[in-house]
Copies of this chain bind each other. A is one copy, B any other.
Amino acid sequence: MPLVEPIPNLSETGPDAVERILAAAKDLFAESGFNAVSMNAIAEHAGVSKANVFHHFKSKNALYLEVLKTACSESGSQIDQLGSGSGTLVERLRDFSQSHLANILRDEKISRLIQRDLLENGPQRGKEFAEQVFGQNFARLVEILRTGQKKDELRKGIDPAMLATLLIGADVFFFQSREVLRHFPDVSFTDTPESYSAMLVDILLRGILPQP
Contacts and interface: CB of A to CB of B under 8 A. Distances in A.
A174 B169 contact: yes
B126 A184 contact: no
Contact of A207 (B169, B172, B185, B206): B206
A166 to B, nearest CB: 6
B163 A203 contact: yes
Contacts of A182: 126-127, 130
B202 A204 contact: no
A188 B82 CA distance: 24
Interface in A180-209: 180-189, 196, 199-200, 202-209
**What is the total number of copies of this protein in its complex?**
2
Interface stretch (A18-26, A72-80, A111-119): A111-119
Contacts of A134: 180, 184
A107 interface: no
A165 B206 CA distance: 17
A177 B114 CA distance: 12
Interface in A108-165: 112, 115-116, 118-120, 122-123, 126-127, 129-131, 134-135, 138-139, 142, 152-165
Query: Which 10 pairs between the two chains have the least Cβ-Cβ distance?
Result: A207-B207, A126-B179, A169-B173, A130-B183, A161-B186, A35-B35, A123-B179, A142-B186, A126-B180, A35-B36
20 contacts: A35-B35, A35-B36, A118-B176, A118-B177, A122-B179, A126-B183, A130-B180, A130-B181, A130-B182, A130-B183, A139-B186, A158-B203, A161-B189, A162-B196, A162-B203, A163-B208, A165-B187, A170-B170, A205-B208, A206-B207
